[in-house]
Chain A
Amino acid sequence: EDLRVDGRGCEDYRCVEVETDVVSNTSGSARVKLGHTDILVGVKAEMGTPKLEKPNEGYLEFFVDCSANATPEFEGRGGDDLGTEIANTLYRIFNNKSSVDLKSLCISPREHCWILYVDVLLLECGGNLFDAISIAVKAALFNTRIPRVRVLEDEEGSKDIELSDDPYDCIRLSVENVPCIVTLCKIGYRHVVDATLQEEACSLASLLVSVTSKGVVTCMRKVGKGSLDPESIFEMMETGKRVGKVLHTSLQSILHKEESLGPKRQKVGFLG
């Protein structure tokens, strides 16, 4: 019948609010409000040594902090398990060559590279955490401005890293192929996108699919205590791809629109 408790269809998202550049000390930040779920992501770019197996690339490090304000269960160490689960999922979806151009993060091979520390803060939990977090990470990476550096070599061979004088001279990451997660919860015989807390409690199993804007799937995972029928898995994958493409186009248009407003745009901040 395609009708849920709050009047949405099975494939409709709740109203999403995305705002970038909310925290001034970071290289890039974004805040996403999806219904009652509130996520804040900050990206900081720091210089470090590249990994041994990949000397020509920089890398990303994810950290997820479930704040105690989100739900009472996160008090103390309660949120740590969920935090590591989300961080591991984020590592998995970015664990391929095409998501982020890591070669552009290299400064000098084997010696210096940019490491992007992506820190996710869960401010309020209202269901469908993975989707909101992936949208926020994509928006924050779009907003990230990494200062341009040059490596100068002396006669003796010692290298010196010089930061450009212009604070607006920076490199931007291309987020064309950054995937977004779509969680499909199986409730009864149908599956729904963007479940609220009540719907998540009724669902025994969900499929988490990470889709890029071109429809390429980078990660698939079954979450939950129940089992899934093979046929429903195929249906859910198709739905996830369809919904993911729509999500990507609307997110891109919002981000470009916000960027085009320039420095004069109204910043809503945290109380809006």
Chain B
Amino acid sequence: MPGDHRRIRGPEESQPPQLYAADEDEEPAARDPTRLRPVYARAGLLSQAKGSAYLEAGGTKVLCAVSGPRQAESSERGSGPAGTGGEAPAALRGRLLCDFRRAPFSGRRRRAPPGGGEERELALALQEALEPAVRLGRYPRAQLEVSALLLEDGGSALAAALTAAALALADAGVEMYDLVVGCGLSRAPGPAPTWLLDPTRQEEERAAAGLTVALMPVLNQVAGLLGSGEGGPTESWAEAVRLGLEGCQRLYPVLQQCLVRAARRRGAAAPP
């Protein structure tokens, strides 16, 4: 039954009590800066999507689904001034539409679904990182829709979403040059800060700077890079990028095995 708003006047805005609570979390325990949390990845779990993947790393849970290729809605769409060169081939290329969503219960405070600027920014980051890997030239006038849903944010959410999206695209049978593996990093504030690989949510919240790198492991090309904060001089950022790239290379065999298992499952399930 909806509350009786006319007689019971509550405040217009309400906040969860945790905001006002004293910070009881102690400093996160010192840990090896290059440790990666164990990852569980599974592809091919949604029956209604062409390709899908679920990735769990520590407390971060991401579900990604790919649908398409289907006919692009409008063939001429202004993509900004940089897209004006090269008429015929650019218009015939396929398009990748990415959508990043956070579940309302994914973080500490409830966020209503149209999340606004941040989700659009992360969706754009997803698109920019996946485009180098997908052979869009093979899908003329078509569009592929990738939608990532963050079920729980336990740190390095964008990196997990990137990896899940690449797995889902591979599971959907989309032609790709290589998989895209994402890795998150954060730099703790303080006098002698080091970059920590694969931060947890507490480490990310206290961080002075954060970085997400996306790598195509076999080609050794960086597909995506997004970082901000008080990272310090360029040498510090360069060290962070190197650490992230190493982390991506270490994660790659897990994803290969996941795709092999999914292919076997699909082969076994196919009717003889």
Residues in A lying within 8 Å of B, measured CB to CB? 52-53, 70-71, 73-74, 78, 81-82, 84-85, 87-88, 91-93, 95-98, 125, 127, 129, 197-198, 200-202, 205, 207, 215-230, 233-234, 237-238, 240-241
Number of A-B residue pairs having CB atoms within 8 Å of each other in the complex: 129
B227 contact from A84, A127, A219, A225, Cβ within 8 A: A219
Cα separation A216 to B245 with both chains bound (whole Å): 22
Interchain nearest-CB distance for A231 vs B (Å): 10
Structural contact, A218 and B231, CB atoms closer than 8 A: yes
Asked if B228 CB lies within 8 Å of chain A CBs, one says: yes
Q: Which residues of B contact A217 (CB under 8 A)?
A: 231-234, 237
B117 touches A91 (CB 8 A): yes
Contact residues in A for B88 (Cβ distance below 8 Å): none
- Which residues of chain B from 171 to 230 have a CB within 8 Å of any chain A CB? 208-209, 211, 216, 219-230
Alpha-carbon distance between A52 and B108 when the two chains are bound, in angstroms: 15
Cβ-based interface call for B82 (8 A): yes
B contact residues around A197 at 8 Å (CB): 81-82, 84
A225–B132 touching, CB < 8 Å: yes
- Nearest A-chain residue to B134, judged by Cβ: A225
| Closest partner residue, chain A, to B82 (CB atom) | A200
A81 touches B80 (CB 8 A): yes
A100 to chain B, nearest CB (A): 13
Chain A minimum-CB-distance residue to B76: A73
Q: Which of A95, A201, A218, A220 meets B84, CB within 8 Å?
A: A201
Residue of A nearest to B84 (CB): A201
- The main secondary structure of chain B at its interface with chain A is mixed
Given A220-B211, A220-B225, check contact A226 B132 (CB 8 Å). Answer: yes
**Distance of B95 from chain A, by nearest CB (Å):** 11
Known: A71-B81, A84-B120, A227-B219. A241 touches B132 (CB 8 A): no
Interface residue? B21 (CB, 8 A)? no
Other-chain residue from B15, B209, B222 in contact with A233 (beta carbon distance below 8 A) = B222
Query: Which 5 pairs from chain A and chain B are nearest by CB?
Result: A201-B85, A73-B78, A227-B132, A227-B221, A222-B225
Cross-chain pairs A/B with CB under 8 angstroms, 27 sampled? A52-B19, A70-B81, A73-B78, A93-B228, A96-B229, A198-B85, A200-B81, A201-B86, A215-B234, A216-B230, A217-B232, A217-B234, A219-B227, A219-B228, A220-B226, A220-B237, A221-B225, A222-B129, A224-B82, A225-B128, A225-B131, A226-B132, A227-B221, A227-B223, A228-B225, A230-B245, A234-B241
Would you give the shortest CB distance from B138 to chain A, in whole angstroms?
A: 15
Taking CB atoms, residues of chain B closer than 8 Å to A87 are 117
CB-CB under 8 A from A71, the residues of chain B are 81, 84
- Chain B nearest CB: distance from A206 CB in Å? 9
Residues of chain B with a CB closer than 8 A to A91's CB: 117
Interface contact B221-A229, CB-CB below 8 Å: yes
Q: How far is the CA of A226 from the CA of B216 in the complex (A)?
A: 12
Kindly provide the distance from the CB of B194 to the nearest chain A CB, expressed in whole angstroms.
17
Smallest distance from the beta carbon of A74 to chain B beta carbons, Å? 7
Q: Is B124 close to A, CB under 8 A?
A: yes
A237 touches B227 (CB 8 A): no
A96 touches B228 (CB 8 A): yes
Residues of A within 8 A of B80 (CB): 73, 81-82
Given the contacts A228-B222, A234-B238, A237-B238, A95 and B229 also touching, CB distance less than 8 Å: yes
Residues of B113-128 at the interface with A, using a CB-CB cut-off of 8 Å, are 117-118, 120-121, 124-125, 128
Q: Among A78, A200, A233, A240, which residue has its beta carbon within 8 angstroms of that of B225?
A: A233
1/0 contact trace for B59-94 toward A, CB 8 Å?
000000000000000000011111111100000000
CA A74 to CA B242, docked complex, whole Å:
39
Contact of B222 among A82, A92, A227 (CB under 8 A): A227
Residues of A with C-beta under 8 A to B224: 222
Closest A residue to B136 by CB, please name it. Answer: A225
Q: In the complex, what distance in Å separates the CA atom of A237 from the CA atom of B226?
A: 13
Tell me which residues across on chain B come within 8 A of A70, comparing CB atoms.
81
Chain B hits for A78, CB < 8 A: 78
A216 to B229, CA, bound (A): 10
Contacts of A225 in B (CB 8 A): 128, 131-132
A240 neighbours in B (Cβ, 8 Å): 234
Write out the residue numbers on chain A whose beta carbons fall within 8 Å of the beta carbon of B86.
201
For B229, what are the chain A residues with a Cβ–Cβ distance below 8 Å? 95-96, 218-219
Chain A contacts of B216 at CB under 8 A? Answer: 227
Determine the distance from Cα of A221 to Cα of B127 in the docked complex, in whole angstroms.
13
Is A202 in contact with B81, judged by CB distance below 8 angstroms? no
The docked-state distance in angstroms from the alpha carbon of A69 to that of B154 is 44
With A88-B121, A98-B230, A220-B228 given, can you name 7 additional A-B contacts, CB distance below 8 Å? A52-B19, A70-B81, A78-B78, A226-B132, A228-B221, A229-B220, A229-B221
